[in-house]
Structure 1
């Protein structure tokens, strides 16, 4: 069975092309076991995009939570 980190990275690969269309990207930072929080980092234009919070909650978080039940929340870190 794949590790949680590998499962997250694999799923994020399916999302990255959409972010890259606007010169942005996203990367896995870490998963905190105690809080079940996944930390990701926006890159490129996503770092300063005014819609990045909406992208995180309505897109990335919703997509990952539906597929990886161990995750309770996704947060963006600098």
Structure 2
């Protein structure tokens, strides 16, 4: 697919387009890192604790990044749960 460094750069470039929806709801998106085709983000502001954050992550952020970058990307919202933890070896700038 992509080297982690290349994927990080691509996501970083397209994230402003993707974050428009989140911003319209009083939230924000922070890119935490990438690893093996997985993009690790955190939702902030009003979206951070929202019960719809999983839907926002998958149906808005992941869908748009798949359109713009690669159809097999997976976006994970690092939300404090063990299954959504940030790997220690994730690529980040």
| Structure 1 gap segments, 5+ residues each | none
Whole-angstrom CA distance in 2 between matches of 1:70 and 1:55:
17
Whole-angstrom CA distance in 1 between matches of 2:28 and 2:19:
6
1:64 aligns with 2:88: no
Match of 1:23 in 2: 26
Deviation at 1:6, TM superposition (A): 2.0
TM-score (normalizing by structure 2): 0.69
TM-score (normalizing by structure 1): 0.80
Deviation at 1:70, TM superposition (A): 7.7
Work out the number of aligned pairs and report it.
75
Match of 2:74 in 1: 73
**1:21/1:72 CA distance change after superposition, 3 Å:** closer
Query: What's the Cα RMSD here?
Result: 1.9
| Structure 2 gap segments, 5+ residues each | 80-93
From the two aligned structures, give the one with the greater strand fraction. 1
